[in-house]
Amino acid sequence: MRAPPNAVDAAIAALRAQLGDRVTTSDSERDIHSHDESWHRPHRPDAVAFPASTEEVAQIVRTCAAHGVPVVAYGTGTALEGGAIPEHGGVVVNLRRLDRILRVSADDLDATVEAGVTHQTLNARVRDLGLFFPIDPGADASLGGMAATRASGTNAVRYGTMRENVLGLTVVLADGRIVRTAGRARKSSAGYDLTRLFVGSEGTLGIITEVTVRLAGVPEAIAAAVCSFDSLAGAVDTVIRTIQLGVPVARIELLDDVQMDAVNRYSGLAYPVKDTLFLEFHGSPTSVREDAEQVQQLAAEHGGAAFRWADGHEERRALWAARHDVAYANKALRPGCGLWATDVCVPVSRLAECILETKRDLRESVLLAPLVGHVGDGNFHLAFLVRRDDPREVAEAERLHERLVRRALAMDGTCTGEHGIGTGKMRFLTAEFGEAVDVMRAIKRALDPRGILNPGKVLPPAPTSPGSGLVPPPRPLT
Positions 342 through 361 that interact with a copy of itself (CB under 8 A): 345-349
Pick from 233, 287, 309, 328: which binds a copy of itself (CB under 8 A)? 287
| Contacting a copy of itself within 304-323 (CB under 8 A) | none
| Contacting a copy of itself within 441-470 (CB under 8 A) | 442-447, 449, 458-459, 468-470
CA-CA distances (angstroms) from residue 417 to 6, 88, 264, 342, 354? Answer: 40, 26, 26, 9, 14
Q: Do the Cβ atoms of 117 and 104 come closer than 8 Å?
A: no
| Contacting a copy of itself within 350-409 (CB under 8 A) | 377-379, 408-409
Close Cβ partners of 107 (under 8 Å, ≥ 6 residues apart):
none
Shortest spacing between CB 111 and a copy of itself, in angstroms = 12
Start-to-end C-alpha separation, the chain: 10
Judged by beta carbon, residue 189 or residue 464, the one nearer a copy of itself is 189
Pick from 395, 412, 463, 477: which binds a copy of itself (CB under 8 A)? 412
* In 325-428, alpha helices (H): 326-333, 351-363, 391-410
Q: Do the Cβ atoms of 386 and 340 come closer than 8 Å?
A: yes
Shortest spacing between CB 347 and a copy of itself, in angstroms = 5
Q: How, if at all, do strands 166-172 and 178-180 pair?
A: antiparallel
Q: Do the Cβ atoms of 357 and 410 come closer than 8 Å?
A: no
Pick from 436, 463, 474, 477: which binds a copy of itself (CB under 8 A)? 436
Pick from 107, 128, 364, 389: which binds a copy of itself (CB under 8 A)? 107
Judged by beta carbon, residue 122 or residue 147, the one nearer a copy of itself is 147
Judged by beta carbon, residue 87 or residue 257, the one nearer a copy of itself is 87
Q: What angle do CA 280, 161, 132 make, to 5 degrees?
A: 60
Largest Cα separation within the chain, whole Å, is 68
- Cα(197)–Cα(195) distance, integer angstroms: 5
Judged by beta carbon, residue 335 or residue 434, the one nearer a copy of itself is 434
Pick from 26, 53, 188, 297: which binds a copy of itself (CB under 8 A)? 188
Shortest spacing between CB 318 and a copy of itself, in angstroms = 26
Judged by beta carbon, residue 78 or residue 201, the one nearer a copy of itself is 201
Judged by beta carbon, residue 263 or residue 345, the one nearer a copy of itself is 345
| Contacting a copy of itself within 121-180 (CB under 8 A) | 149-152, 156, 160-161, 163-164, 173-175, 177-180
Close Cβ partners of 344 (under 8 Å, ≥ 6 residues apart):
354, 379, 380, 404, 405, 407, 408, 413, 414, 415, 416, 417
Output the CA torsion 171→172→178→181 (10° steps): -20
Q: Does 57 bind a copy of itself (CB under 8 A)?
A: no
| Contacting a copy of itself within 242-261 (CB under 8 A) | 243-246
| Contacting a copy of itself within 198-237 (CB under 8 A) | 199-201, 205, 216-217, 219
Judged by beta carbon, residue 17 or residue 439, the one nearer a copy of itself is 439
